Amino acid sequence: MDLISLLPDFGNLAFTVLAFVVALTIIVAVHEYGHYIVGRWSGIKADVFSIGMGPVLYSRVDKHGTKWQVASYPIGGYVKFAGDANAASGGADEEVLAELSPEERRHTMPGAPLWARTATVAAGPIFNFILSILLFGGILMWVGVGTDPLTVGKAKPLPGVEDVLQPGDEILSIAGAETPKLSEFYTFATQLPNTPVVEYRLNRDGKKVVVIGPHPFPALIGSVTPKSAAIEAGLRRDDLIETVDGNRVATFEGLRDLVVNGEGAPLTLGIYRDGERLEVTLTPRRQDLPLPEGGFETRWLIGVSPGLIFEPATRTPGVLESLEGGVDRVIYIIRSSLSGLWHMISGKISSCNLSGPIGIAQVSGQAASQGVSSFIAFIGMLSTAVGLLNLFPIPVLDGGHLVFFAYEAVTRRKPSDKVMNILLIIGLSLVLSLMVFGVTNDLFC
């Protein structure tokens, strides 16, 4: 194989790596800044704030005496506070502390009051959650939310389908069922007759009209899931799936039924894209999906979500409404993550659901390739996951430090250096084992 034939793959790899580095740098920078700024507010001096690891590429010292630096390897970052033996705050530098006055010791991490150390450590994950809330809220303000009642913004032209819906039409009911708000519309549509056409009752220019039109969810792709069979087969948003193994498909529910009933057999899809027809073959994958009421359901999936036959009219939500939506999204991710972890530990779902750095990088590249809003949403999701992971009670993680502080609050004394060192080694071993497990999943699942 010559070099020229490798260039497309190299370009995809470079794009994936770049997207992953950008996402990781933003998340780590916000996490570490949370530690830094709350530490400073609490009277703890930071010696170094580093983005990246390894040899320093650029640095400067600010008026507070903190060295801000960018290092060679964009694989993380850290804040080293005064008095810490290392960047992980894994112990005290006794030689430095011995030379300080009581007042100077107050401005070190080991010598600061318990409340100050607790607030400083907890701030990293909290800032990750805040970042996620702001990103998800920002997406809502940028993309908008559906109007009530659901209103047609722009019809999507489909082959052989007459545009019976017009911009400004308020959809009052479909097939005799009252139309809900946009966020509940897909669940509503799954209860509609699985037929190519349905009856719409509309408010058009102040008049009630009834029209017969296509099902609101034909087999039209609204989005493609990263790291899925669909994205690897090259499916795109707004592709219309007309046939599956030669069988006509009228609705997205019909497509879903064919995928599920195929039980993992390869499928040949007839696609209509930008005025052209083409065929792609893919193999559905068995995946565990979180349920709204909790728990998981295992299904055969190709990795696409449904697209409406029209673009709904939207309104720009206010700041508070957007932030509320961001909070709801973060809570949903946390609940789903904890539920998924428990179901993996108990053996109810596959451990292949746990991705390592390779899988996360792959998803970041695929999310970035689908547009800015998709990439921002990915950063918000990953930031929530990083914040949650750091709260786990594992030594070397923030949650482990918080457990040590809780022990100190109860017993009125710190754990001994010997115990701390043993626990930190155990914690580091657990984290490294988790990373190896994730990489193994990335390569072999």
Identify whether 99 is a catalytic site residue: no
CA torsion angle for 248, 250, 256, 262 (degrees, to 10)?
-10
Under DSSP, is residue 219 helix (H, G, I), strand (E, B) or coil? coil
CB 21 within 8 A of CB 74: yes
Spatial separation of the C-alpha atoms in residues 154 and 307, rounded to whole Å: 13
DSSP 246: T
Q: Which of 32, 170, 242, 253 is catalytic?
A: 32
Spatial separation of the C-alpha atoms in residues 72 and 65, rounded to whole Å: 22
The distance of Cα 68 from the centroid of its chain, to the nearest Å, equals: 29
CA torsion angle for 339, 378, 17, 32 (degrees, to 10)?
-80
CB 210 within 8 A of CB 198: no
Q: What token pair was written down for 196?
A: 């190519």
Length of the chain (residues):
445
The distance of Cα 10 from the centroid of its chain, to the nearest Å, equals: 25
The answer, yes or no, to whether the previous bond of 312 is cis (omega within 30 of 0) is no
Residues designated as active site: 32
